[in-house]
């Protein structure tokens, strides 16, 4: 806080700026990331550069992205003596569905310096307003990431780990759990941030599961299918799917897919477990390929 007063800066609520002021939690996050000199760390939201500096001591490279001009200036001052920190002054997202290519390119350049040994970890106190697209879109890439440790809103963390039948179970739950091991490892009150947010927060840890991911035959198709299914989570899946794929599949063909999966007409997306939704998506994709080949 004294640093902000010194420079006459105030955090921006519109940018989701809530800074961790509890050093014990910063240390906890970095320890949970298990950083080594083989790691390239992606940090989204440099803030004042405090956690950036802490990570640079143990990581091989840190690529830190900061959108806010004032925060970028502070972070640059804090890290200018570190030759393994790259600060990018830009938006980390190209749009809500894509991480900015410039960010990916910089990460890949760092990995390419020792491709046999280096891997990627996302470690960050994520701004609340971009936490979902950053994590979701990183999982969607083919980047060789090995761990995500990040602070996010507690409500979002609960959505990530939610199970079928729970109110927070949705497309995000399915998308992440279909390819990762997702854990909520720490809950945090507003008092550990400045300024204090209006909600509780959490630290989540995600690890990739290549075995789970290998069961998805078309990840883009799967992502789109579950997203659209959960827009009508309480409606019968049959009716939703018939509407979604009316140009590619007849109702009889949708019924055949559902029957092959052992799903009756009353099945709803919110009740289906992740492996069942993966299998359903695969069968739909195969049915569409067959129909297009006729």
Which pLDDT belongs to residue 294? 61
pLDDT digits (tens, 9 = 90+) for 101-150: 999 999 999 999 999 999 999 999 999 999 999 999 999 999 999 999 99
| Sole residue written with tokens 């009889």 | 252
| Element spanning 202, H or E | strand 201-208
Cβ atoms of residues 99 and 93 within 8 Å: yes
Are 2-214 and 219-292 the same fold in CATH? no
pLDDT digits (tens, 9 = 90+) for 180-238: 999 999 999 999 998 899 999 999 999 999 999 999 999 999 999 999 999 999 999 99
CA distance 29 to 26: 5
Cβ atoms of residues 125 and 75 within 8 Å: no
Say which residues have a Cβ less than 8 Å from residue 255's Cβ, sequence separation at least 6. 238
**What's the pLDDT band for 18 if we cut at 50, 70, 90?**
confident
**Is the model's pLDDT at 79 over the cut of 80?**
yes
CA distance 153 to 149: 13
- Spans of all domains in the chain: 2-214, 219-292
Supply the CATH classification number for the domain 219-292: 1.10.8.100
2-214: CATH homologous superfamily?
Vaccinia Virus protein VP39 (3.40.50.150)
pTM for the full model? 0.93
Mean pLDDT, the chain, whole residue set: 94
Q: At what angle do helices 237-244 and 251-260 cross, to 10 degrees?
A: 130
| Sole residue written with tokens 């941030």 | 193
């Amino acid at each position: 806080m004294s640093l902000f007063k010194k420079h006459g800066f105030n955090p921006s609520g519109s940018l989701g700026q809530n800074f961790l002021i509890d050093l014990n939690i910063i240390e906890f996050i970095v320890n949970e990331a298990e950083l080594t000199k083989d790691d390239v760390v992606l940090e989204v939201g440099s803030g004042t550069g405090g956690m950036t500096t802490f990570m640079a001591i143990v990581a091989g490279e840190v690529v830190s992205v900061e959108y806010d001009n004032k925060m970028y200036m502070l972070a640059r001052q804090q890290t200018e003596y570190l030759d393994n920190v790259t600060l990018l002054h830009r938006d980390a997202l190209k749009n809500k569905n894509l991480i900015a290519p410039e960010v990916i390119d910089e990460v890949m350049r760092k990995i390419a310096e020792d491709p046999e040994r280096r891997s990627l970890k996302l470690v960050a106190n994520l701004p609340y307003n971009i936490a979902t697209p950053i994590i979701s879109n990183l999982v969607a890439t083919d980047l060789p990431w090995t761990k995500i440790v990040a602070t996010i809103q507690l409500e979002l963390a609960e959505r990530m780990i939610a199970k079928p039948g729970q109110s927070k179970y949705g497309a995000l739950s399915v998308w992440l759990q279909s390819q990762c091991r997702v854990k909520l490892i720490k809950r945090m009150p507003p008092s550990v941030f400045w300024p204090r947010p209006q909600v509780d927060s959490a630290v989540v840890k995600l690890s990739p599961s290549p075995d789970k991911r290998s069961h998805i035959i078309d990840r883009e198709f799967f992502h789109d299918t579950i997203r659209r299914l959960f827009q009508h989570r309480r409606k019968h899946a049959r009716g939703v799917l018939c509407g979604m794929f009316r140009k590619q599949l007849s109702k009889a063909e949708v019924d055949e897919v559902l029957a092959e999966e052992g799903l009756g007409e009353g099945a709803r997306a919110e009740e289906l477990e992740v492996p069942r939704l993966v299998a359903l998506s695969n069968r739909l994709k195969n049915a569409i390929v067959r129909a297009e080949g006729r």
